[in-house]
Amino acid sequence: PIKACLFDLDGVLVDTAKYHYIAWRQLAQELGFTFTEEDNERLKGVSRMASLDILLSIGGLELTEEEKLRLAESKNERYVEYISGMDASEILPGALELLQALRSQGIKVALGSASKNAMSILDHTGLTPYFDAIVDGNKTVSAKPDPEVFLLGAKEVGVLPEEAVVFEDAEAGIEAARRAGMRSVGIGSADQLGQADLVLSSLSGFSVKQLKELEHLPAP
Ligand code: BG6
Ligand code: MG
């Protein structure tokens, strides 16, 4: 039986991609090149330092480790400022309803995010009370597609991988779920998230009944 849901944060529960985008775009501008919305798609689900490497490759820049740390820090300071202005209106459609339904039916809920800012985002949007466990970029060593973040989440809520379902908007996240031996629901387009057991355009209208139907599919 399915006993837990593990949620990615950015792009699944809240729309933070736009803040990452403007913070990275400003950094690129300061470095003298243009960073487009299309470029930003490549940073979905990617860790902060790996995102910076992608950005610098777009600008054709090679910097020292020390310079890179300084730039990542400066981007993050800006990003933190943007997210400090977030509120519940930025929760994505259907997310709150699903979290409430899971809670009322006794299904465990855990966060599995690459972000080191996850706690702050959950607090500003009022989502913290819905979680039984929070695993974020501060608790993990390996980034998705490594399964670490989801294996730790399942462990923290006391369920086996085959009893957990992962909700993800990034291809690397679906791959991480698969490697963890967990079923997955992709939020986005089927072109990109075809490896998921089910792909939805948003969480809107997704019910616990539909979740339970995933039990009939074999765990990866
Ligand atoms: C992921 C986002 O959830 O977190 C990425 O999809 C982001 O875009 C990554 O780079 C790390 O986030 P943060 O908040 O630690 O810089
Ligand atoms: Mg995401």
Q: What is the 3 state secondary structure string of 94-159? A: CHHHHHHHHHHCCCEEEEECCCCCHHHHHHHHCCHHHCCEEECCCCCCCCCCCCHHHHHHHHHCCC
Which among 14, 19, 46, 80 is the best mutation to test ligand 1's pocket, defined by most ligand atoms within 8 Å of the CB?
Answer: 46
Residue 118: the pLDDT is: 98
Which residues have CB under 8 Å from 63's CB, separation 6+? 56, 71
* 48 CA distance to ligand 1 middle (Å): 6
CA–CA separation, 114 and 88 (whole Å): 21
Residue with tokens 């740390």: 69
Ligand 1: which residues within 6 Å by Cβ? 9-10, 20, 43-48, 51, 76, 113-117, 137
* 215 CA distance to ligand 1 middle (Å): 30
Residue by residue, pLDDT tens for the chain (220 residues) are 999 999 999 999 999 999 999 999 999 999 999 999 999 988 988 899 999 999 999 999 999 999 999 999 999 999 999 999 999 999 999 999 999 999 999 999 999 999 999 999 999 999 999 999 999 999 999 999 999 999 999 999 999 999 999 999 999 999 999 999 999 999 999 999 999 999 999 999 999 999 999 999 999 9
Q: What is the pTM of this model?
A: 0.95
Tell me the ipTM for this assembly.
Answer: 0.98
Residues in a beta bridge with 111: 7, 134
Hey, is 7 helix, strand or coil? strand
CA–CA separation, 210 and 164 (whole Å): 14
What's the token pair of residue 192? 């990109």
Residue 71: the pLDDT is: 98
**133 residue type, one letter:** A
Name the phi and psi angles at 92, rounded to 5. -70, 155
